[in-house]
């Protein structure tokens, strides 16, 4: 059986393939019949943004019967000769010799017709939205970026670590965790409420979906030197903003013998490397986003590559915001957790480029961050980008036993529950640092999409857990 060509490969090798008989498989985007007795079918198989135009002569009775069911959304296979196209908009076209219908789509009920649909509408048909230009392009960019993450760290001597999804540790200490429960075995008994003292824990202690793989990654960094984890994380945060999800993917490297400055350098290098990959390898999809989602997107990404990030202390940033004369919904004062409006003002108005904020107030950050000599701030960093705000958060970790114990006491963290973490400071402690990059926010920045729900295949938000 002749192997079907992916449409992306067809266009890459079109000069060689012109005049040859080929086979393609995909889904019908549009079909129109002309008065000249020709049917034009646009076929897409998801391998690229571009459709292949298929020419069908209506005078051929062996094709017309099948053609009646070839409507928008149908899954088909077409075999024919690839020829140079005399029409505008495509360099080549296929002249069909045979058509096979795999599955039809009733035009009366198929929701994706030839018109623009709102993102809100597309979220209601998440099983079909990947067939649209925008969501298909996002999926291809996401795939390439995910692979590039591994390339970046593997080329720099990092080891890929699988940290647990079910954990007994609340890394952030904020309590925004999903409790893992085991319902009774009998179907007629209601599942227990989270924390029900009368139901024994499957693991013998409370367990949660991970909010971060950082603490476990520290264990391996203090044995292998450089590690990274890349996987799903979960936050039980009742937030319905365009920047938050209950389930998202995090890239988290941890490096032994590393301070905040080195941590910051790796973080900036990672962002620039990933953006370069998009510019180099996702050209067609990037042009689509620049045309229909965010005009000037390519230029913005290129400018980010060419411009050094601005490094500013939290204290300096607060002073800059105060002097700006802007009326914020949340008035700025030292000691507050900066909001998205402040982060975007810093990147879009004051510095007009990505900003690395460093040295945050001690009380704002988790217990594991290294306390600075002033004992008021910690060696933390947030990288902010225009249009999004925070995209990376990280720190030098507290390697000194006495200061770690002090931090844990101040934050109300049990040393017994985290005995293993304390022992890492008792047995061969060394300076180390790391950060977390939110993959979805990076994809938002790279594609210009305004809502984070469009850059993950199956968004999980309060009240929404379809599929």
Higher pLDDT, 115 or 344: 344
* DSSP state letters, 101-166: EEE---TTT-S--SS---HHHHHTTTTTGGGSHHHHHHHHHHHHHHHHHHHHHHTTT-EE----SE
So what's the pLDDT on residue 197? 55
Express each pLDDT in 98-155 by its tens digit: 999 999 999 999 999 888 899 999 999 999 999 999 999 999 999 999 999 999 999 9
Higher pLDDT, 271 or 58: 271
So what's the pLDDT on residue 171? 62
Looking from the CA of 51 toward its CB, the CA atoms found within 13 Å total 18
> SS3 of 177, please?
coil
* CA of residue 293 relative to chain centroid, distance: 17
So what's the pLDDT on residue 191? 55
So what's the pLDDT on residue 184? 59
Express each pLDDT in 177-227 by its tens digit: 998 877 655 555 555 565 555 656 788 888 899 999 999 999 999 999 999
Distance set, CA 349 to CA 210, 343, 451, 466 (Å)? 36, 10, 21, 39
Higher pLDDT, 241 or 288: 288
Distance set, CA 462 to CA 41, 236, 241, 279, 310 (Å)? 41, 9, 10, 34, 35
So what's the pLDDT on residue 203? 82
Of all helices (H) and strands (E), which one includes residue 9?
Answer: helix 7-12
Distance set, CA 436 to CA 67, 229, 253 (Å)? 52, 9, 7
pLDDT at residue 24 is higher than 60: yes
The CA distance from 445 to 127, in Å, is: 25
So what's the pLDDT on residue 28? 97
Q: Which residues of 87-114 are buried (b: 16+ CB within 10 A; e: fewer)?
A: eeebebbbebbebebeebbeeeeeebee
Rama region for 195: left / alpha / beta (φ>0; ψ in -120 to 50; rest): left
The CA distance from 285 to 268, in Å, is: 24
The CA distance from 239 to 446, in Å, is: 23
Kindly report the average pLDDT of the chain as a whole number.
93
How much is the average pLDDT of 297-326?
96
Express each pLDDT in 448-467 by its tens digit: 999 999 999 999 999 989 88
So what's the pLDDT on residue 1? 47
- For a pLDDT cut of 90, what percent of the chain falls above it? 84
**Six-digit token pair at 222?**
């203090």
> SS3 of 419, please?
helix
How much is the average pLDDT of 29-48?
94
Sign of CA dihedral 238, 249, 218, 368: negative
Facing residues of 55 across strands?
Answer: 40, 95
The CA distance from 388 to 449, in Å, is: 10
- pTM of the predicted model as reported, rounded to 2 decimal places: 0.93
């Amino acid at each position: 059986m002749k192997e079907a060509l992916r449409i992306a490969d067809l266009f890459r090798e079109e000069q060689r393939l012109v005049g040859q008989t080929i086979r393609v498989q995909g889904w019908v985007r549009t079909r129109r019949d002309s008065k000249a007795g020709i049917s034009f079918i646009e076929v897409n198989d998801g391998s690229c943004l571009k459709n292949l135009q298929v020419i069908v002569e209506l005078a051929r009775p062996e094709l017309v019967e099948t053609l009646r069911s070839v409507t928008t959304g149908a899954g088909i296979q077409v075999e024919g000769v690839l020829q140079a196209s005399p029409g505008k908009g495509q360099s080549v076209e296929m002249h069909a010799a045979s058509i096979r219908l795999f599955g039809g789509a009733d035009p009366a009920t198929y929701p994706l017709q030839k018109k623009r649909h709102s993102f809100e509408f597309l979220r209601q048909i998440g099983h079909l939205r990947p067939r649209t230009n925008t969501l298909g392009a996002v999926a291809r960019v996401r795939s390439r970026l995910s692979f590039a993450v591994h390339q970046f760290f593997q080329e720099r001597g990092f080891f890929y670590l699988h940290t647990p999804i079910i954990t007994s540790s609340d890394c952030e200490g904020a309590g925004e965790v999903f409790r893992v429960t085991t319902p009774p075995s009998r179907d007629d008994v209601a599942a227990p409420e989270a924390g029900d003292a009368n139901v024994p824990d499957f693991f013998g202690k409370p367990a949660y979906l991970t909010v971060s793989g950082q603490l476990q990654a520290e264990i391996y960094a203090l044995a292998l030197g450089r590690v990274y984890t890349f996987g799903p994380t979960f936050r039980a945060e009742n937030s319905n903003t365009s920047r938050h999800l209950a389930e998202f993917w995090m890239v988290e490297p941890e490096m032994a013998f590393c301070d905040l400055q080195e941590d910051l350098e790796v973080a900036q290098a990672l962002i620039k490397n990933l953006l370069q990959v998009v510019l180099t390898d996702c050209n067609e999809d990037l042009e689509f986003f620049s045309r229909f989602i965010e005009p000037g997107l390519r230029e913005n990404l290129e400018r980010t590559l060419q411009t050094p990030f601005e490094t500013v202390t939290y204290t300096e940033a607060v002073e800059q915001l105060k002097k700006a004369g802007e009326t914020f919904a949340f008035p700025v004062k030292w000691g507050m957790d900066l909001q998205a409006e402040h982060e975007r003002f810093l990147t879009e108005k004051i510095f007009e480029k990505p900003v690395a904020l460093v040295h945050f107030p001690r009380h704002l950050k988790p217990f594991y961050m290294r306390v600075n000599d002033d004992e008021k701030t910690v060696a933390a960093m947030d990288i902010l980008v225009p249009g999004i705000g925070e995209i990376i958060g990280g720190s030098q970790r507290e390697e000194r036993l006495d200061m770690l114990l002090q931090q844990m006491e101040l934050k109300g963290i049990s040393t017994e529950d985290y005995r293993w973490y304390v022992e890492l400071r008792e047995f061969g402690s060394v300076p180390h640092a790391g950060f977390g990059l939110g993959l979805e926010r990076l994809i938002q920045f790279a594609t210009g999409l305004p809502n984070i729900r469009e850059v993950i295949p199956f968004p999980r938000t309060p009240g929404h857990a379809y599929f």
